[in-house]
Amino acid sequence: MAIRDWPESERPREKLLQRGPAALSDAELLAIFLRTGLPGRSAVDLARDLLNQFGSLTALLGASRGAFCDGPGLGLAKYAQLQAVLEMARRYLAEEIGRDVVLSSAAATRQFLQAQLRGESREVFAAIFLDSQHQLITYEPLFFGTLDAAAVYPREVVSRALALNAAALIIAHNHPSGVAEPSDADRRITARIRDALALLDIRLLDHCIVAGREVVSLAERGLL
């Protein structure tokens, strides 16, 4: 049965308008993005098929161009649409952080880091540079690695902080493995960067690890 023949309260678009996007399932949200299904399959059916194929919404949104375009009902046009949507989300979150004192908006900071890092297939090490009022100066990816490692140099982190006249930093990186638990190497590099910054009276406020929908804070774990 086509979606237009469903009861109005069950149609994804009408449901979103009546109850808000949080009321929709992953499949319903994806169906609105897809707009159309395939012969004999509604957009919601197709969305469910895609979620089963990729394993999760996060995996679908982070898929490579080739893997995404090979999905049924997808292609280059939908891939371009998706990349535009994701980039708008990143910029929106960046603006939200820019308006706030970061420490009073931990949820927004985590959302921003997730949007920036969780779709990366390689390890990316980045920093949020803050002024003396803990307002955002800028966010910058600093180092890029393979699937499971990134070469991180504390002196370059310090050098960039000085260039930006930053008074504090939040550093972050992703775990493409999907496991957010900090490793021994994560703890060691955190201590090295913290100590290097402290020599110049620059505070390291946190080190966040992003893995899918999970963000682990080393500060909250008492590891800073």
Whether 218 shows a pLDDT value over 60: the answer reads yes
List, for residues 10-48, the tens digit of each pLDDT value: 788 888 888 888 888 888 888 888 888 888 888 888 889
Whether 141 shows a pLDDT value over 60: the answer reads yes
Which carries the bigger pLDDT value, residue 108 or residue 218?
A: 218
Question: What 3-state DSSP class applies to 90?
Answer: helix
Half-sphere exposure of 56 (CA within 13 A, CB side): 7
Of the pLDDT bands very low, low, confident and very high (cuts 50, 70, 90), residue 164 is: very high
Domain boundaries, the chain: 3-74, 100-217
The pLDDT value given to residue 104: 55
Rounded to an integer, what distance in angstroms lies between the CA atom of residue 44 and that of residue 5?
Answer: 13
Question: 30-58: string of b/e by CB count within 10 Å (b at 16+)?
Answer: bbbebeebeeeebbbbbbbbbbeebeebb
The pLDDT value given to residue 98: 59
The pLDDT value given to residue 2: 63
- Looking at the domain 100-217, which fold is it? Cytidine Deaminase; domain 2 (3.40.140)
Q: What is the mean pLDDT of residues 94-113?
A: 68
The pLDDT value given to residue 75: 87
Whether 99 shows a pLDDT value over 80: the answer reads no
Which tokens hold the place of 152? Answer: 């991180």
Q: What angle do CA 83, 88, 92 make, to 5 degrees?
A: 150
List, for residues 45-85, the tens digit of each pLDDT value: 888 988 898 888 878 887 888 888 888 888 888 888 888 88
List, for residues 189-216, the tens digit of each pLDDT value: 999 999 999 999 999 999 999 998 889 9
Whether 147 shows a pLDDT value over 70: the answer reads no
Give me the chain's average pLDDT, please: 85
